[in-house]
C-alpha cells in the first residue's frame, strides 16, 4: 500500500505538465500573449510538440534498455529526468509576453516535453513493482490521483493568483508576472509529490544481462516472423495516441481562439474535466477488468466527442464535450498502461515502456504537424478534427491484439 500511495502521489505531481503546461494555461498564454497571432501560435506550439516526439522516439528504447541493465537503473534515471522536467517548468517564468520570447518558450517546451516523457516512461515501468496484484486498480488509482491533483493545484492557482485582484504576495500583473509565477508554484508542486516515490520507496529491480544489444531486445519484443502480439498493440496505440496528442495539445488553444473562451473559462473547464477524468479512472479501475474492451469502447466514444467539439459553436457545447471527453480519455490511457505491463516480463519493463513511449511518440510528430499544416491551410476546426482519422485507425488495429486480463 505504501508503494501504491507513492506511485499515486507521483502522478499527482507530474500531471501538471500535460494538464497545465501543454493543454490549459501555458499553451493559451503562449498563443495569446507571446506569439504574433493565435493561428501562428497554435501551429508553432503543435510543431514544437511534434519535434519533441521525434527526439523522444529516438531516445527512449536505448534509455529504457540501459535502465534495465544497471542496478536500480530505472529509479536512478527516473530521479534525473524528473528533476530536469521540474527545472524546465520553472524556466517558463522567464517567458515574457512578447514575440521576442517565442524561441525561448519553444526551447523550454522542447526540454520539458522530452524530460517529462522520459520520466513518465520510467515511472510507468514501476507499476508492477508498486501493485502487481491488481494492475487495473493500481493504474486507475494512479491516473485518477493525477487528475485530482490537477484539480487541486488549479483551484489553488485560481484562488491565489488568477482570479483575485489582490494576488498572492501582491504579485503584479504587469508583463503577465502573475501568470509566469504560476510556473514556479507548479514546479514546487511536482517536486514535493515526487519525493515519496523517488526517495522513500525501495525497489528490488532484477537487472537483465548487459551484453545483449538494445536493438536485439527490441526485435524480440515486437517481431517474430511478423509482428508479435506486443508489436500489434504498440502499433495500434501509436495511432490512437497520436490522435489524442492533437486533442490534448490543441484543446486549450481551440477553446480560446475558436470558441472565444477567456483564460478563466479555460481553467474552469479544466477543473471540471479533471474531476470527470478522476471519476472515470476510479470507476473503470474498480468495476471494469477487460482492458482491451475499455480501450476499444472509449476510442469510439472519443471519436464522437471530438467530432462534436470540431463543429461546436458555443461555450456550453465546447465545455460539455471537453469534460465528457476527459471522463473517457483517462481510462483509455490507464488501461493502455496495464496492457503493456501485462504483455511483457518484469525484468524488461524499462525497455518495454521505452517502446510504449515510442508508440505514443514515433508518429506523434505526424499528427501535430499535419494538424498544424491543416490549420494553416484551412482552419483550426479542420486541424483539430484530423485526430478522428488516427483514432479510427488505432481502433481497427486494436481488434487484432490478443489479450488476457491481469
Alpha helices in 15-101 (DSSP H): 16, 25-29, 38-69, 73-91
The whole-model pTM stands at 0.82
Q: Where are the domains of the chain?
A: 2-201+213-398
Q: How many helices (H) and strands (E) does the chain have?
A: 18, 0
391-406: per-residue pLDDT in tens? Answer: 999 999 999 888 776 5
| Closest C-alpha among 352, 350, 68 to residue 208 | 68
Look at residue 282 in the predicted model and tell me its pLDDT.
92
What digits encode the pLDDT tens for the residues 299-327? Answer: 999 999 988 988 888 888 889 999 999 99
| Confidence label for 278 from pLDDT (cuts 50, 70 and 90) | very high
Which CATH code fits 2-201+213-398?
1.20.1250.20
> Is-contact 366 246, C-beta < 8 A?
no
Percent of all residues in the chain with a pLDDT value above 90, rounded to a whole number: 30
Instruction: Dihedral sign for Cα 37, 39, 43, 48, please.
Output: positive
Other CB atoms closer than 10 Å to residue 39's CB: what's the count? 18
pLDDT of residue 364: 62
Rg (CA), the chain: 20
DSSP 3-state assignment of 227?
strand
Q: Is the pLDDT of residue 211 over 60?
A: no
Q: Provide the mean pLDDT of the chain.
A: 84
What is residue 115's predicted lDDT score, i.e. its pLDDT? 94
Q: Cα 70–16–40 angle (5° rounding)?
A: 110
Q: Is the pLDDT of residue 342 over 60?
A: yes
pLDDT tier, 84 (very low <50, low <70, confident <90, very high otherwise): very high
Pick 212 or 258 by higher pLDDT.
258
Mean pLDDT over 68-97 rounds to: 90
Tell me the mean pLDDT in the region 262-276: 83
What string of DSSP letters covers 239-304? HHHHHHHHHHHHHHHHIIIII---HHHHHHHHHHHHHHHHHHHHHHHHH---HHHHHHHHHHHHHH
Candidate from 17-31, 75-89, 142-156 with smallest mean pLDDT: 17-31
* Coil, strand or helix at 156: helix
- What is the tens place of the pLDDT at every residue in 46-79? 788 878 878 888 888 888 888 888 877 888 899 9
Confidence class of residue 173 from pLDDT cuts 50, 70 and 90? Answer: low
Average pLDDT over residues 91-99: 91
**E strand or H helix at 7, and its extent?**
helix 2-14
Q: Are 249 and 368 in contact (CB under 8 A)?
A: yes
pLDDT of residue 186: 93
- Please, are residues 261 and 253 in contact by the beta-carbon 8 Å criterion? no
pLDDT at 241 over 80: yes
Amino acid at each position: 500500500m505504501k508503494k501504491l500511495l507513492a506511485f499515486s502521489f507521483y502522478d499527482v505531481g507530474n500531471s501538471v505538465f500535460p494538464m497545465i503546461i501543454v493543454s490549459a494555461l501555458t499553451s493559451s498564454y503562449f498563443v495569446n500573449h507571446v506569439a504574433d497571432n493565435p493561428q501562428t501560435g497554435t501551429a508553432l506550439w503543435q510543431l514544437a510538440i511534434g519535434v519533441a516526439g521525434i527526439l523522444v522516439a529516438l531516445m527512449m528504447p536505448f534509455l529504457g534498455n540501459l535502465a534495465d541493465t544497471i542496478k536500480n537503473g530505472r529509479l536512478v534515471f527516473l530521479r534525473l529526468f524528473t528533476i530536469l522536467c521540474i527545472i524546465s517548468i520553472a524556466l517558463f517564468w522567464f517567458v515574457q509576453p512578447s514575440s521576442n520570447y517565442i524561441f525561448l518558450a519553444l526551447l523550454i517546451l522542447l526540454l520539458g516535453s522530452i524530460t517529462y516523457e522520459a520520466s513518465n516512461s520510467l515511472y510507468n515501468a514501476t507499476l508492477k513493482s508498486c501493485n502487481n496484484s491488481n494492475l487495473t486498480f493500481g493504474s486507475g488509482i494512479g491516473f485518477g490521483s493525477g487528475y485530482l491533483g490537477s484539480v487541486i493545484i488549479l483551484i489553488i492557482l485560481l484562488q491565489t493568483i488568477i482570479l483575485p485582484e489582490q494576488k498572492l504576495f501582491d504579485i503584479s500583473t504587469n508583463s503577465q508576472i502573475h501568470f509566469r509565477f504560476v510556473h514556479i508554484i507548479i514546479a514546487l508542486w511536482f517536486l514535493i509529490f515526487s519525493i515519496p516515490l523517488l526517495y522513500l520507496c525501495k525497489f528490488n529491480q532484477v537487472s537483465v544481462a548487459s551484453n545483449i544489444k538494445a536493438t536485439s531486445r527490441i526485435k524480440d519484443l515486437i517481431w517474430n516472423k511478423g509482428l508479435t502480439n506486443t508489436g500489434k498493440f504498440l502499433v495500434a496505440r501509436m495511432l490512437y495516441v497520436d490522435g489524442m496528442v492533437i486533442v490534448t495539445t490543441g484543446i486549450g488553444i481551440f477553446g480560446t481562439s475558436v470558441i472565444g473562451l477567456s483564460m478563466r473559462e479555460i481553467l474552469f473547464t479544466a477543473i471540471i474535466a479533471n474531476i470527470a477524468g478522476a471519476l472515470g479512472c476510479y470507476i473503470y479501475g474498480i468495476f471494469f477488468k477487460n482492458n482491451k474492451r475499455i480501450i476499444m469502447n472509449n476510442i469510439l466514444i472519443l471519436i464522437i466527442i471530438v467530432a462534436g467539439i470540431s463543429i461546436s459553436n458555443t461555450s456550453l457545447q465546447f465545455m460539455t464535450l471537453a469534460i465528457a471527453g476527459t471522463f473517457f480519455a483517462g481510462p483509455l490511457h490507464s488501461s493502455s498502461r496495464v496492457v503493456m505491463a501485462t504483455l511483457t516480463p518484469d525484468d524488461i519493463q524499462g525497455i518495454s515502456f521505452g517502446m510504449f513511449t515510442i508508440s505514443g511518440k514515433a508518429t506523434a510528430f505526424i499528427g501535430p504537424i499535419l494538424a498544424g499544416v491543416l490549420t494553416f491551410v484551412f482552419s483550426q476546426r479542420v486541424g483539430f478534427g484530423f485526430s478522428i482519422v488516427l483514432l479510427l485507425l488505432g481502433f481497427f488495429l486494436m481488434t487484432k491484439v490478443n489479450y488476457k486480463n491481469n
